Amino acid sequence: MSTVTVVNRLEIRFADLKKAGRGALVTYTMAGDPDHETALAIMKGLPAAGADVIELGMPFSDPMADGPAIQLAAQRSLAAGGSLSRTLDTLRAFRETDHSTPVVLMGYYNPIYARGVDRFAAEAAAAGADGLIIVDLPPEEAPELTEHLNAHGIHLIFLTAPTTDARRLPAVLAQAGGFLYYVSITGITGTASADEAAVKDAVAALRKSTDLPIAVGFGIKTPAQAAAFARIGDAAVVGSAVVQTLADSLDEVRAATEKTVPAVLGFVATLAEGVRAARR
């Protein structure tokens, strides 16, 4: 394994896509869901299926910002022995063959805090992470983590929401790196659908304050929506719909079937088709 990353893969990928004149497809899948091997097989197949950036969920017992689809994914992962260590194993195994796809770890703060923020930052960087999204770590509490992430070249990616007003935005942007994640609905993951016109206005407003690429996520379910939002922002994030496709392929004891990997990758391919057709 010889992955010496001088420049963060996120920057390279967004720059390349800008040249190519299209937005990115960002997919979210949960590490260890429904088991370690299946989740790894899915992750390895994502770049070929058309994912430009991979968000890898870190399972947590109390995912407060997630709807039922991702809650259940976390429960399946934990029941199958999923953990932060196993998530890093998954990433390490992925990096044995893929050196260019940016990977963003996404989850909640407690497992990272329990591990020790300095240790986590070093391990995540060594495993090949490019970014980190911690849903329950707002900018006010983030410096204790960003300090260590910066030392290891990992971007902390911040979320802004429809409720984030002009007074608050500078605080969010001050530590933001990689890209800015615009939460397109006020709600938890996988529930409402985002409203195109409202998102267009919000993204236009954000662009006045930041040069970071803007990813739109939380309410995107179909290839058509992914295409539309990847055109409005610089990336569309699809999570719950991917995870639900996986869930629908499981057997009655929620174990993987031979359909699981192809079902997920097939769905991602349709999303990618939509995003790639939506040139700007």
Partner 1 sequence: MSHQLANSFRTGADERGHFGIHGGRFVAETLMPLILDVEKAYAEAQADPAFQAELDGYLKTYVGRPSPLYFAKRMTEELGGAKIYFKREDLNHTGAHKINNCMGQILLARRMGKKRIIAETGAGQHGVATATVCALFGLQCVIYMGATDIERQQPNVFRMKLLGAEVRPVTSGAATLKDAMNDALRDWVANVHDTYYLIGTVAGPHPYPTMVRDFQCVIGDETKVQMQEAEGRLPDSLIAAVGGGSNAMGLFHPFLDDASVRIIGVEAAGHGIDTGKHAASLTGGKPGVLHGNRTYLLQDEDGQIAEAHSISAGLDYPGIGPEHSWLHDMKRAEYVGITDDEALDAFHRFTRWEGIIPALESSHAIAQAIKMAPTLPQDHLMVVNLSGRGDKDVNTVARAMGVVL
- Which amino acids are annotated catalytic? 55, 66
Q: Are 23 and 233 in contact (CB under 8 A)?
A: yes
Pairing assessment for the beta strands 155-156 and 159-160 based on DSSP bridges: unpaired
Closer to partner 1 at the Cβ: 39 or 264? 39
Contacts of 275 (CB under 8 A, 6+ apart): 22, 23, 24, 25, 50, 52, 223, 226, 227, 230, 236
Number of residues located near partner 1, criterion CB under 8 A: 44
- Under rule CB under 8 A, residue 188 binds partner 1: yes
The minimum distance between CB 279 and partner 1, in angstroms, equals 31
One of 53, 159, 199, 264 touching partner 1 (CB under 8 A)? 159
Does 80 participate in binding partner 1 (rule CB under 8 A)?
A: no
Candidate ranges 32-40, 42-50, 80-88, 149-157; the one touching partner 1 (CB under 8 A): 80-88
* In contact, 45 and 51? CB cutoff 8 Å: no
| Binding residue for partner 1, selected from 163, 208, 211, 252, defined by CB under 8 A | 163
| Dihedral (CA of 259, 104, 54, 208) sign | positive
Question: By CB under 8 A, is residue 15 in contact with partner 1?
Answer: no
Closer of 140 and 211 to partner 1 (Cβ)? 140
77 binds partner 1 (CB under 8 A): no
Residues 45-74 that bind partner 1 (CB under 8 A): 59-65, 67, 71
81: left (phi over 0), alpha (psi -120 to 50) or beta: left
164 binds partner 1 (CB under 8 A): yes
The letter for the amino acid at 245 is T
Binding site for partner 1 (CB under 8 A): 59-65, 67, 71, 75, 78, 83-85, 108-115, 135-138, 140-141, 158-165, 168, 172, 183, 186-188, 191-192
